[in-house]
């Protein structure tokens, strides 16, 4: 199955994947009005991690993270390591689905059962996965333009509600909360781009892995920076920290005369478009991992089972709104750093060693045959 996407489509999908949850929930509230600074630091931390992802993909161009795990560690150990990435894909998909349910139940369909919403969303995601990554890439390229216009549109209309004193003084609470929030910003959303590696492996230009990763993450960071600045300037530190959907509140305050107001639907459109892409990519990533473990050529066989797992996980792992942001309190950052940074680095070292060893063995074989 030959599915490929262009660099432009790869960047578009990565941007939508990166900004999905943070558009609604914002960056970690612990930095308060210095959240913009934490976002910048979080992105800087991410750059060497993106380099690791790109180096991994460059070892065997066209092969995804699961194939690299099998190459680096062998069939049994490689399958075990792959399970970490499969679990992370399912867990992230469940988190985004849970956020979908919370958001829709709070601001829209109050009396609609969450299961109905989950089934409808996952049905669309399964359909997108069945059509393949090439179609998803075209879809992402088209809707990226709409998301771009909406993100520029919101701060321009919010200028009348902005107060510069809301962002000053910088570092009033010290550097410690900012550094802690920067780690949170790395964990969510930048580190989660490890899930994007199976999609990145399908780039037509196999030499552009790092360029696409960096461009997509940078544009995503800029979009989040614009939204974060807007929320801080409009709401202030206190209102920002107590609101579960700060961007929704910011947009709800926009009113130009008596004819242009109540445009919160823009936020819903942004979240639905980006969240749909993120869940679909999580679904495809987990399905590709299982297909490699079970040695099946077509990953689409696992799309529906993985979707059912995501729906169940969204109920099992998260019991209420608070738990969605406090999964494994005190351990969440270590859990994400292990899967998104340490584990890929270990795979890179093992894969390079295995490939180097294989080259040495292949170079010795001709000399042995000539001696005989």
CB 64, CB 195: distance < 8 Å: no
Answer left, alpha or beta for residue 132, where phi above 0 means left and psi between -120 and 50 means alpha. Answer: left
Please tell me the distance from the alpha carbon of residue 348 to that of residue 336, in angstroms, as a whole number.
18
Nearest CA to 122 among 316, 314, 369, 253?
314
* Residue 137 CA, distance from chain mean position: 15
Looking at the 3D structure of the chain, how many domains does it have? 1
Question: Which sign does the torsion angle of CA 20, 21, 26, 27 carry?
Answer: negative
- With respect to residue 216, please indicate whether it lies within any of the assigned structural domains: yes
Nearest CA to 302 among 316, 289, 317?
289
CA terminus-to-terminus distance, the chain: 42
- With respect to residue 372, please indicate whether it lies within any of the assigned structural domains: no
Question: Which sign does the torsion angle of CA 356, 360, 361, 366 carry?
Answer: positive
Query: Residue 203: phi, psi to the nearest 5?
Result: -60, 140
| Burial call 114-130: b when 16+ CB within 10 Å, e when fewer | beebbeebbeebbebbe
- With respect to residue 1, please indicate whether it lies within any of the assigned structural domains: no
Query: Residue 195: phi, psi to the nearest 5?
Result: -65, -20
**What pLDDT score was predicted for residue 104?**
84
- Domain range spanning residue 65? 7-357
- With respect to residue 2, please indicate whether it lies within any of the assigned structural domains: no
| Stated pTM of the model | 0.90
In 10 A of CB 76, how many CB atoms?
9
DSSP 3-state percent helix, strand, coil across the chain (nearest 5): 80, 0, 20
Bridge partners of residue 256, in order along the sequence: 260
Please tell me the distance from the alpha carbon of residue 354 to that of residue 349, in angstroms, as a whole number.
9
- With respect to residue 204, please indicate whether it lies within any of the assigned structural domains: yes
**What pLDDT score was predicted for residue 215?**
95
Bridge partners of residue 213, in order along the sequence: none
- With respect to residue 236, please indicate whether it lies within any of the assigned structural domains: yes
Nearest CA to 120 among 250, 241, 260, 276?
276
Q: Which residues contact 97 (CB under 8 A, 6 or more apart)?
A: 118, 121, 122, 279, 310, 311, 314
The CATH number for 47's domain is 1.20.1740.10
Nearest CA to 151 among 17, 23, 295?
23
Helix, coil or strand: residue 275: helix
Please tell me the distance from the alpha carbon of residue 267 to that of residue 7, in angstroms, as a whole number.
27
Please tell me the distance from the alpha carbon of residue 53 to that of residue 10, in angstroms, as a whole number.
15
**What pLDDT score was predicted for residue 326?**
47
User: Digits of tens for pLDDT over the chain (372 positions)?
Assistant: 568 899 999 999 999 999 987 777 777 667 778 888 889 999 999 999 999 999 999 998 989 999 999 999 999 999 999 999 999 999 999 988 988 888 888 877 777 888 888 999 999 999 999 999 999 999 999 999 988 998 888 888 888 888 888 888 888 778 888 888 888 888 888 888 999 999 999 999 888 999 999 999 999 999 999 998 898 899 887 887 777 788 888 888 887 766 666 777 878 888 888 989 999 999 999 999 999 999 988 899 999 999 999 999 988 876 655 445 545 445 567 888 899 999 999 999 999 988 888 776 666 655 554 444
- With respect to residue 371, please indicate whether it lies within any of the assigned structural domains: no
Please tell me the distance from the alpha carbon of residue 29 to that of residue 232, in angstroms, as a whole number.
11
CB 42, CB 184: distance < 8 Å: yes
């Amino acid at each position: 199955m030959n599915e490929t996407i262009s660099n432009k489509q790869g960047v578009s999908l990565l941007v939508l994947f990166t900004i999905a949850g943070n558009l609604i929930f914002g960056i970690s509230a612990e930095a308060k009005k210095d959240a913009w600074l934490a976002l910048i630091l979080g992105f800087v931390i991410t750059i060497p991690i993106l380099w690791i992802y790109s180096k991994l993909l460059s070892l065997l161009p066209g092969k995804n993270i699961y194939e690299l795990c099998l190459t680096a560690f062998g069939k049994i150990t490689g399958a075990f390591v792959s399970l970490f990435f499969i679990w992370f894909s399912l867990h992230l998909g469940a988190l985004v689905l849970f956020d979908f349910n919370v958001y829709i139940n709070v601001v829209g369909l109050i009396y609609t059962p969450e299961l109905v919403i989950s089934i409808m969303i996952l049905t669309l995601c399964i359909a997108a996965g069945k059509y393949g990554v090439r179609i998803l890439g075209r879809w992402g390229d088209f809707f990226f333009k709409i998301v771009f216009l909406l993100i520029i549109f919101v701060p321009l209309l919010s200028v009348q509600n902005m107060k510069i004193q809301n962002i000053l003084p910088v570092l009033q609470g010290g550097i410690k909360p900012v550094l802690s929030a920067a780690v949170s910003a790395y964990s969510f959303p930048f580190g989660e781009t490890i899930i994007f590696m199976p999609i990145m492996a399908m780039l037509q230009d196999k030499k552009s892995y790092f360029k696409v990763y960096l461009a997509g993450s940078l544009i995503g960071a800029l979009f989040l920076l614009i939204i974060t600045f807007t929320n801080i300037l409009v709401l202030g530190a206190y209102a920002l920290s107590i609101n579960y959907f700060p961007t929704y509140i910011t947009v709800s305050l926009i009113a130009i005369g008596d004819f242009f107001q109540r445009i919160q639907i823009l936020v819903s459109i942004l979240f639905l478009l980006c969240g749909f892409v993120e869940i679909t990519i999580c679904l495809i990533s987990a399905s590709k991992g299982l297909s490699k473990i079970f040695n099946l050529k077509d990953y689409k066989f696992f799309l529906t089972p993985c979707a059912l797992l995501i729906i169940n996980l969204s109920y099992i792992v998260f019991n209420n709104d608070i738990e969605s942001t406090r999964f494994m309190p005190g351990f969440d950052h270590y859990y994400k750093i292990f899967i998104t940074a340490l584990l890929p680095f270990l795979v890179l070292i093992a894969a390079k060693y295995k490939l180097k060893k294989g080259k040495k063995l292949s170079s010795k074989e001709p000399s042995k045959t000539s001696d005989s």
